[in-house]
Amino acid sequence: MSDTVIHVPTMQEKIAKGETPDILFWVGCSGSFDDRAKKITKAIVKILNHVGANFAVLGVEESCTGDPAKRAGNEFLFQMQAFQNITILNGYDVKKIVTGCPHCFNTIKNEYPELGGKYEVIHHTELVQQLINEGKLKVEGGAYKGKKIVFHDPCYLGRANNVYEAPREVIQKLDAELVEMKRSKANGLCCGAGGAQMFKEAENGTKEVNVERAEEALSQNPDVIAVGCPFCNTMMTDGVKHFNKEEQTKVLDVAELIANANDL
């Protein structure tokens, strides 16, 4: 992947130029601040630029959707964040949002409408699927041709919103061997991060959830564990390290697979 500086317009810049972006790319906190997740963000941006999408980000005007606060029971903090974001989004008359994180996706899609934020919201794997189906994005296997890839369903994309096929269809376009874990799709096992667990130590038990899940994924001997969520990415990466398998098995986001395969 080339690491040249990329151009990412902000909503403010676009509006100042009198342009109206078709898509708002909601980056999310992980995608903005976490070094590993920033690479996923860039992969998404590269795909958007590659297809010449008319998009923008909120930049410093973006703030946490409030998801971790809500799942942790802090409804006040959640709604403060929600109303603040909705005010900004509605101010820009945003119609369509693509998110880089299933938690942002779920919150904006399901919980914002009642508070006045009604948008068409899609996850980035759905965007990639759409771009491929519309013929705007051609995908060739490249480095992943024939490789064994196992997809880990993020809970807030899968069970929470019934998006199971988009990431799988995209992976299959890479001419890779897509394998399934025993617990997949609606029966998928959480990576251990959801419900604000990402931000606290686990309760006393016999095992970490991410170790349990990584063990299951590694039992397929995959070349790649594909994920669609920055939190799953962290948890699965740690889990793979736990088994000292980071040389054999890479944990990559679906967007990174596409960007890498197309040498973007």
Q: How far apart are CA 136 and CA 257, in angstroms?
A: 17
| Residues 225-264 close enough to bind other proteins by CB under 8 A | none
CB of 11 to other proteins, least distance (A): 11
CB of 195 to other proteins, least distance (A): 3
CB of 173 to other proteins, least distance (A): 27
Q: Half-sphere exposure of residue 19, counting CA atoms within 13 Å on the CB side?
A: 15
Q: Please choose, out of 57-65, 124-132, 142-150, 254-262, the segment that lies near other proteins by the rule CB under 8 A.
A: 57-65
Q: Does residue 111 contact residue 144 with C-beta atoms inside 8 Å?
A: no
Q: Does 197 bind other proteins (CB under 8 A)?
A: yes
CA nearest neighbour of 105 among 173, 31, 204, 189: 31
x/- mask, other proteins, residues 110-139, rule CB under 8 A, reads: xx--xxx-----------------------
| Residues 9-28 close enough to bind other proteins by CB under 8 A | 10, 27
If the CB atoms of residues 77 and 172 are measured against other proteins, the closer one turns out to be: 77
CB of 180 to other proteins, least distance (A): 15
3-state helix, strand, coil in the chain (%, to 5): 45, 10, 40
Structure tokens, 189: 């096992």
The answer for residues whose C-beta is within 8 angstroms of residue 145's C-beta and 6 or more apart is 174, 175, 176
CB of 170 to other proteins, least distance (A): 21
If the CB atoms of residues 78 and 144 are measured against other proteins, the closer one turns out to be: 78
Q: Name which position in 96, 160, 164, 220 contacts other proteins (CB under 8 A).
A: 160
Q: Does 47 bind other proteins (CB under 8 A)?
A: no
Q: Name which position in 19, 22, 54, 87 contacts other proteins (CB under 8 A).
A: 87
Q: Does 41 bind other proteins (CB under 8 A)?
A: yes
Query: Which alpha helices (H) appear in the chain, and where do they start and end?
Result: 11-16, 28-33, 35-50, 67-71, 75-91, 102-106, 124-133, 165-172, 209-218, 230-242, 254-261
The DSSP symbol for 92 reads T
| Residues 166-195 close enough to bind other proteins by CB under 8 A | 186-190, 192-195
Sheet containing strand 23-26, strands side by side: 55-56, 23-26, 96-99, 120-123
Q: Name which position in 135, 206, 244, 247 contacts other proteins (CB under 8 A).
A: 206
Q: Name which position in 1, 19, 22, 33 contacts other proteins (CB under 8 A).
A: 33
